[in-house]
Amino acid sequence: MTLQEAVAQIKPLDQNAMETAKRRWDSIAKPLHSLGKMEDIIVQIAGITGTPDIDIRKKALVAMCADNGVVEEGVTQTGQEITALVANNFQAGISTVCIMCQEYGVDVHPVDVGMVTDTTVRTDLKVAYGTKNMAKEPAMTREQAVSSIESGIAMAVELKEKGYRMLATGEMGIGNTTTSSAVASVLLNQSVEAMTGRGAGLSSEGLVRKINAIKRAIEINKPDPADAIDVLAKVGGFDIGGMAGVFLGGAALGMPVLMDGFISCVSALVAGSICPGALDYMIASHVSKEPAAHMILERLGKEAVLHADMCLGEGTGAITLVPFLDLGAKIYHTESTFEDIHMDQYEELK
């Protein structure tokens, strides 16, 4: 499925399914709306999937792995070899998020969308061996940006065909908080300083280098804030594009997609800029510690469930939301109704 085809397939949420789901919640023997966002998200999933019969039992995390040429500017604490190391850990099932996924029954699907070396992770969707240094030239061509998005769309299609009902987004790529801060700064029209944090533990000196590298990248490449693909191509990363494709592909296929932290939210921002209708198919999990996290969620019209000061990435925040959603689906389907227990139903009071 091409990017153009995916965007053409994205339609508004099914309001009839959502109304039926709301009535089901209101019939359950408990005070109205007393489970808050748990109820709201289950209703949203009904609209996304087009049915009030909620089934999110088969879930997958798509972890997009890529390297970024901007690491040449000294914007990271570690080298690019860590991207490959963690990607191999994804494949072996021993990274932090893999342990979480094992606990909650989520399958992990790592994808090499642009690492500088080949690893044990699948490479059939690889766009290139890392991006260029955006502080000196565009990170990638426009064609490569589209290819990275279509890699994510291809993953959504593949997993839908395998029977998955919900996707979560994750990533690994040394330097990707730098690219994410650059993309966010341009798309939100905010200062680089406001959008940039310490990532994986930068010193104050390192933070200054990071901010200066992003400023140079924006000045040299002049990304167009009205064209998210141009922004992605000039100052973004293949992992950002890949996750944006998962969001767009999920929306085209009627699948809910869980947002993770800062980098994932920037990908959601890219996807929503390409097709605003895709935003309705996204579910915000948590608020990252990165400075721009709140601003991005506000722009996307999303309110995260979790406020836990998490900033690991990999998809860990998204997976932390999984048991919350599983509980919601369980209650929605199994709890007694007022009719079952012969009790008058609560009414909405003015």
Instruction: Judge whether 188 and 299 are in contact, CB under 8 Å.
Output: yes
137, burial (CB in 10 Å: exposed 0-12, middle 13-18, buried 19+): middle
Q: Which tokens go with 335?
A: 């709890």
Q: Are strands 166-172 and 106-114 parallel, antiparallel or unpaired?
A: unpaired
Q: Which tokens go with 150?
A: 């279509």
Question: In the chain, which residue ranges form alpha helices assigned H by DSSP?
Answer: 3-9, 15-27, 37-49, 81-92, 96-104, 142-161, 176-188, 192-195, 204-221, 228-235, 238-253, 262-274, 293-300, 316-334
Rounded to 5 degrees, what are φ and ψ at 105? 70, 35
Residue 283: its H or E element: strand 282-284
Full 3-state SS string of 216-234: HHHHHHCCCCCCHHHHHHH
The contacts found for 78-81 with CB under 8 angstroms, 24 or more apart, are 78/174, 78/200, 79/174, 80/116, 80/130, 80/174, 80/175
Which residues 6+ apart lie within 8 Å of 20 measured at CB? 46, 52
3-state secondary structure of 135: coil
- The verdict on whether 19 is a catalytic residue reads no
State the amino acid at position 274 in one-letter form: I
Q: Which of 19, 73, 314, 339 is catalytic?
A: 314
283 pairs with which residues across the strands?
Answer: 258
Which residues 6+ apart lie within 8 Å of 85 measured at CB? none
Residues with a known catalytic role: 314
